[in-house]
Structures are given as C-alpha cells and as structure tokens.
Amino acid sequence: MFTSKPGKKASERRREMREHLWPGAEKTIWSRKTDNGYATIPRTLPLIMTLINELSPKPSGDASRVYLDLWSRSYDEAYVEIVDEADHAYAAGFLRSRAVRSWRERMRVLADLGFIKLKGKRGREFAYVLLVHPHDVVEALRVRPDFPADWYNSFIERENQVGARLGTQRRVAKKADKVVALRPR
C-alpha cells in the first residue's frame, strides 16, 4: 500500500501518488517545467466559463470558448494582441463562413460582461485585449438579477479548495473586518 510521509510538500505527495498509480508517467505527461507552450490560467476557469455560458445573451451564444482561447494566448501580463481574427475564431470553434462574425459577437459579450477590455487600432475594433481578474468580474456581476446563486456557492467552494485570491470587494471587506477586530475597545 502507498503511504506518503508527513512533512512533504503537496506537490511531492501528488507526484508520488501519480507514480504509484501510473509508474513511468513522468515520461508521458505535459509539464510546464520541461515543456514550452504552456499558459498560466486560474484553477477556477472551468467555473468561470460556466458562468459566461449562463450569462451570455442567448441570441449571441456562449462566449466561454472565446474566453478560453484568450487565456491560452495570454502571458503573465494578461494582455493579448489580436493579429488574425480568423485564427482566433477557428481556435474557439467557429469553422463556418460566419466564423469571424460569430467570434466578434462573443468578444463583445465578454466585454459587456466585464471579463475583457478592448482597444482598437487603425479602424480595427479588436486589436488589443486585457483579461480582467475574473474573480473581480464575478463580484461585479453578483448584482445582476440573473446571477446564478448555486453557481456562486460552487465557485466559493472551489476558490477555497485552491486557495485562490478573493475578488477585490471581498478582499477589502475581509481587510476591514481585520482592522475592526484589531482596534481596542
């Protein structure tokens, strides 16, 4: 039976367990430590994509795959330069004659929801994209009447599981609670 020793880092315990379950797996996996071409993404991204799907206007369609493509193209600066809209449309799953038009509609949905900010260049509406911290966007969207409460409960649970950064509003409130608690009475 496999047992992990106390005091080891979580990553070491996971690596040992993986090796126990799949001996030799190190040679068959994608690792950001040995492979190029990876992106840093929030561990809450699948839930964020679900929220985007829930809140996307139904005539416009789900914008979550466009959001995933943007994350996969961003670096640590959370910024993407749009060079070829057709490439982005294809990567997001738009394959037909209306591909770029559909992609543009989804980009506008993401901007309207607040997940991205856009800047144009020489008559192009989509030249530069800033990825806004998604947890801050979640906090801003919570005031909407169509915001799914069940989704938010799952999101908070996942946020706690991965030790994710709280949204700005909750960080400020938490900090204010600490200040109040520290004041002498």
Spatial separation of the C-alpha atoms in residues 156 and 151, rounded to whole Å: 9
* Cβ atoms of 107 and 55 closer than 8 Å: no
Res. 182: pLDDT tops 80: no
Residue 177, sorted as left (phi over 0), alpha (psi -120 to 50) or beta, turns out to be alpha
- The whole-model pTM stands at 0.81
What's the average model confidence in pLDDT over 100-116?
Answer: 97
The token duo for 20 is 């126990």
Beta-ladder partners of 167: none
* Residue 131 DSSP SS3: strand
Res. 169: pLDDT tops 60: no
Spatial separation of the C-alpha atoms in residues 56 and 51, rounded to whole Å: 8
Residue 148: its pLDDT value, please?
96
